[in-house]
Homo-oligomer: A and B are copies of this chain.
């Protein structure tokens, strides 16, 4: 029996946007959903209580690469798995480590059965391939396991993109072999193929032929122009299987999420709301706000009017600016709370719009206002 079930609750009558429900061993997720990134067994600066009570996150990410190096997959396993380790009892999706080892550049060498690399922490030598990644993610005990793949660089020639994609497809089969369908962990395959529509469709076809529980789209937001990213999603949208959740990896801005939903995507993750928060950039319905700006020195208004997050309910822009300028830890925390709340609340608004058959208007209005800024 599979660890995942997916139900489409309603669809926008005019396009691809859909409202669904994903059931996993640790809980139920309403989609479209944004998944906060918790790389090292923590969403930076936040507690599980912040994530559930204030942000209402229903699923978070963990990372194979970071956790295998520190504290180590065996350590997490001995401590009862990632959920218990970090005191998070809702679903977790773990990334395969493929993207992170690929990002190591000169520190890694890609081979037929995986990637040989040196740790960015202490230079020690490691090997990570489909089999190893499945073993580690099994030890971590995540609800959703990502296939180990190669991220195709941008730009890439057609031949480079094909050969990279084909290796990822071979690896996806290996992943399924090492992690057969079971009732505790679901496996997502990852569509690659660079910016070539036919390779993307070929990859989607290959992934669909493997018995994976979900379809991810990888290799986006790697430096390509926004139009190429959207064209790739456009090329795939009509062909995505109806009965499986669809996840665009590592994307993106609030507008990108709305564009993704409009193309039938159910799940998103990105470091943008958390990383930008630590750099003093805050998201609002009217665009980004740089809290460092001296114009906020005496500004008594919250980051965003009508925002119900803890930060906006209690603190002024002036105070947030002070915390940032004074290098206070609380700055990262209050900014992160707001940004993740904003992302998750935006998904809630999107779900409501789809349910109410108001998606096209919601989507147009949001993009129009957001892009003016």
Residues of chain A touching chain B, judged by Cβ–Cβ distance below 8 Å, are 40-42, 44-49, 66, 70-71, 75, 78-80, 85-87, 297-298, 300, 310, 314-316, 318-319, 321-323, 325-326, 328-330, 332-334
CB distance from A300 to the nearest CB of B (A): 6
CA distance A244 to B87 in the complex (A): 46
In contact, A42 and B298 (Cβ under 8 angstroms): no
A48 close to B298 (CB less than 8 A): no
Interface pair B42/A323, CB less than 8 Å apart: yes
Q: How far is the CA of A96 from the CA of B46 in the complex (A)?
A: 33
B75, B314, B321, B323: the one contacting A298 at CB < 8 Å is: B75
C-alpha spacing A317/B111, complex, angstroms: 39
Q: Which residues of B contact A310 (CB under 8 A)?
A: 47, 49
In the assembled complex, which residues on chain B have CB atoms less than 8 Å from the CB atom of A48? 314
Q: Please give the count of copies of this chain that the complex contains.
A: 2
With A297-B75, A300-B79, A316-B79 given, is the CB distance from A45 to B85 under 8 Å? Answer: no
CA distance A44 to B329 in the complex (A): 6
Q: Indicate if the CB atoms of B319 and A70 lie closer than 8 Å.
A: no
Select A328's contact among B40, B314, B321, beta carbons within 8 Å: B40
- Tell whether, in the assembled complex, residue A333 and residue B71 are in contact, meaning their CB atoms are under 8 Å apart: no
CB contact under 8 A between A70 and B326, given known A85-B319, A298-B78, A310-B47: yes
Q: How far is the CA of A328 from the CA of B78 in the complex (A)?
A: 21
Q: Which of A80, A326, A328, A330 has the most CB of B within 10 A?
A: A330
Contact of A319 among B66, B86, B321, B323 (CB under 8 A): B86
Q: Looking at the assembled complex, report how far the CB atom of A45 sits from the nearest CB atom of chain B, in whole angstroms.
A: 4
- A330 lies within 8 A of B298 (CB): no
**Chain B residues in 8 Å Cβ range of A79:** 298, 300, 316, 318-319
Structural contact, B70 and A40, CB atoms closer than 8 A: no
| Distance between A219 CB and nearest chain B CB, rounded to angstroms | 28
